Every structure is written in C-alpha cells, then in structure tokens.
Structure 1
C-alpha cells in the first residue's frame, strides 16, 4: 500500500496554509499602516484647526 497520494495531499495542504498565513499577515500589516497614516493625517488636521481658532 502506497501513501504517496496522502503525502502529496498533506504537503499541499501545508503549503496552502503557510501561504495563506503569509498573505493574511501582509494584508493585516498594510491595513494597520494605512489606519496609522489616516489617524496621523486626522490628528494633524485637528491640531492645525485648533491653532487657527486660537
């Protein structure tokens, strides 16, 4: 009895899960960086607005 098909399937699942973990992490990092940039822009605009009203 050969386990070749099982081994191929197991390695394929491992590679797919590993790739998905990498892609999901990259997407999360991009999202967090984008949120940080947007927050910095909002805070800069808010501080500029406060300086104008003083």
Structure 2
C-alpha cells in the first residue's frame, strides 16, 4: 500500500494555497490603487486645482 494519492493531493492543495496567497494580495493592491486614483481624479475635477501628490504604496 502506497500513499502516493494522499501525498499528491497534499502537494496539490499546498500549491493551490501558495498560488492564492501570491495572487490575491496583488489583486487587492491593484483595486485599492485604482480607487485612490479615481478619488484623486474626482478631487481634481471638483476643485480644478492640480494635486501634486503622487500615489505610492
């Protein structure tokens, strides 16, 4: 009796979780930066005064 299926599934789950931990934070950062840029654009439109602050993490 071998444990190949068990070990293979364990590695598969590990790599799925690893990929999830790699991808999701980048998507969240991208969404937050897009929201911040749109807030800055709305502020510029509302005041018609250029905002010189650049976005950074």
Structure 2's unaligned 5+ residue stretches are 50-57
List, as ranges, runs of 4+ consecutive aligned residues in structure 1 with deviation greater than 4 Å: none
- The answer for the alignment partner of 1:52 in structure 2 is none
Structure holding more helix per residue: 1
* Superposition RMSD in Å: 1.4
The higher radius of gyration belongs to 1
2:5 corresponds to 1:5 = yes
SS of the aligned residue for 2:37 comes to: helix
Aligned residues: 49
Normalised by the size of structure 2, how large is the TM-score?
A: 0.74
Higher relative contact order (CA 8 A, sep 6+): 2
SS of the aligned residue for 1:28 comes to: helix
